[in-house]
Structure 1
Amino acid sequence: MDIPTFDLTGRTALVTGGSKGIGFGMAYALGAYGARVVITSRGEEEGWAAEEQLQEAGFDAAYLPCDVTKKEQIDGLVAETVARYGSIDILVNNAGMNIRKPLIEVEESDWDRVLSVNLKGIFLVGQAVAKQMMEQRYGKIINISSILGTIGMPYQTSYAASKGGINQLTKVWAEELAPYNITVNALGPAYIRTPMTEEWLNDPERYRQIINATMQKRVGELSDLSGPVVFLASDASSYVTGQILNIDGGWTAR
């Protein structure tokens, strides 16, 4: 029996929103398993700092600026990545944002901004990278969703809508791209401890609610995403596609 490998040596991974938070954590994990890693974000200062951190860890890593809501920038990102490394084997489609407000306070501009980054951005990047992967006849697309693509929560109108859309894109793309030896899956994290979530996790009442909703009675750490993203990026997941893997300590199983 063939034993599948998690080794990513020789593979090129593109991670959007890879300069901080869970994007950086996943980029680091892919680099640790041998992948060449290209991270991208709008914030150039953070991007160059993240590139330096990855390189200091011994990884073959590069930062390329890109706004995922701008098609021409995405096309340039894909072209530059292929020019440097010859392929894009793994896409971690992660760039995202949130504006938390009660339903009746959500401005049209709030809705447009969140959906533009979280859903349009996922679509545009996925479309551009899929073209390259179809030519290669190989690829691993990992869309970053959320448990809020599955469950409801107050003050998350725009965000939850975008993440539900990501889950459906994942299933549609998996069907379309399967003939090209491309798998498409999504990760749906619950609360992961990052600078973005620190304010919420430092609120005792909010923290208590999160812990009570989670079977394992803790919040997630960046390391909790390392195994799942490496699994979906590797040949060990060659028979897994169209799936939403919730990384949530059991939250959505209740």
Structure 2
Amino acid sequence: MFDLKGKTALVTGGAKGIGEGISMELARCGANVIVNYHTSSDGKAICEKLNSLGAKCIAVQADVTDKAQVDSMIAQGMDAFGGIDILVNNAAYQCNIPFDEYDDQHLSRIFHTNLYGYILCMQGVLPYMKEKRYGKIINISSVHAKRPTNFDPGYSMTKGAIKMLTRESALELADYHINVNSVEYGYVDIGVKSGKPRDVVDSGLADEERLFPFSKLSLANRINEPKDAAHVVAFLASDEAEMIHGTAIRADSGTILA
């Protein structure tokens, strides 16, 4: 377990799925956690769980595509803990639709959430990180940044853009001792995706049957869970990762090799 005592982390989309796993793991490592949520009420429930374990946590509702709401969220985190040392950009939207079904609404939502939201949150925390000359920014991505799919081109395009956002900002911010990296996940079971469920997710099969096709994409021959996904984020948030800049760590159980 990595030592994050005295550090404060902001996790966007931190109340459910991969975000919940990350929030829990960072708290276990000793960090204060600002759990961002948008429409669900899960943020407060996660904070209650973390607080019961002795962690310090606040839940903040904010739409990461809205600059005023992002600024307010960061200000609330600063008021509660005096600073933000770690930003985990995790909030995302996935349409799960083919190319010819994309319209203006889908394109706007997926790019504003998956890319513009990352940029707004990074810009929001940078004044504090630059002043302190310390910071860890971890952008959550996917193997779809490297490997195209046959079910959601918009999602893959945003993940490809996150790769270059991470690398460009890592170059610019290294002089301030701010590390910017990304994590590329394979399939992680979070229940139903944020967009339109399709195919096996829509099939009505029991969990084991529903997830079986994805287990073949893992060399570990099992389905990854949010808690599995969180460990690499804790590493990148720690001082042990001081020498890692602009890297995309693939934590996919070998999905890209399948």
After TM superposition, the score normalised by the length of structure 1 is 0.92
SS in 1 for 2:123: helix
Structure-1 residue corresponding to 2:243:
239
Structure 1 residue 168, shift from structure 2 partner: 0.9
Question: AA paired with 2:2?
Answer: F
Give 1:127's aligned residue: 123
**Which consecutive residues of structure 2, in runs of 5 or more, have no partner in the other structure?**
none
Query: Are the equivalent residues in 2 in contact too, given 1:224–1:247 (CA < 8 A)?
Result: no
Cα distance 1:186–1:83, how it changes in 2: closer, same or farther (>3 A)?
same
Which amino acid in 2 is paired with 1:83?
Answer: D
* 1:159-203 deviation line (CA, Å, top 9, x unaligned): 111111111101011101000000001111111121235963958
Which deviates the most, 139-148 or 48-57? 48-57
Could you give the per-residue CA deviations for residues 90-111 of structure 1, whole angstroms, max 9, x where no partner exists? 1111101110112111222111
Question: What is aligned with 2:254?
Answer: 250
1:220 equivalent to 2:224? Answer: yes
| Pairs within 5 Å for 1:1-254 | 6-43=2-39, 45-196=41-192, 200=201, 207-253=211-257
Two-structure CA RMSD over aligned residues (Å): 2.0
Distance 1:218 1:44 in 2: 29
User: What amino acid sits opposite 1:102 in the alignment?
Assistant: P
Amino acid at match of 2:99: L
| Shift in alpha-carbon separation, 1:206–1:160, aligned structure 2, 3 A | farther
Shift of 1:43: 2.2
The superposition leaves residues 67-91 of structure 1 with CA deviations (integer Å, 9 ceiling, x where unpaired) of 1000011111112211221111011
Residues 179 and 242 of structure 2 are in contact (CA less than 8 Å); yes or no, is this contact kept in structure 1? yes
Shift of 1:130: 1.8
Q: Secondary structure of 1:64's partner? A: strand
CA separation of 1:124/1:202 partners in 2, compared to 1, >3 Å: closer, same or farther? farther
Deviations 1:197-231 (A, max 9, x none): 59639588874442333222222112212320110
Q: Secondary structure at the match of 1:153?
A: coil
Give the drift of 1:124: 0.7
| CA gap 1:208/1:48 in 2 versus in 1, 3 angstroms | closer
Distance 1:34 1:142, change over 3 A: same
TM-score by length of structure 2 reads: 0.91
Residue type of the alignment partner of 1:232 = L
Tell me if structure 1 keeps the 8 A contact 2:18–2:227: no
Q: Deviations over 1:7-45 (max 9, x none)?
A: 100000000001111101101000001000011111252
The answer to whether the 8 Å contact 1:21/1:196 transfers is no
| CA spacing shift, 1:160–1:9, aligned 2, 3 Å | same
Corresponding residue pairs, total: 250
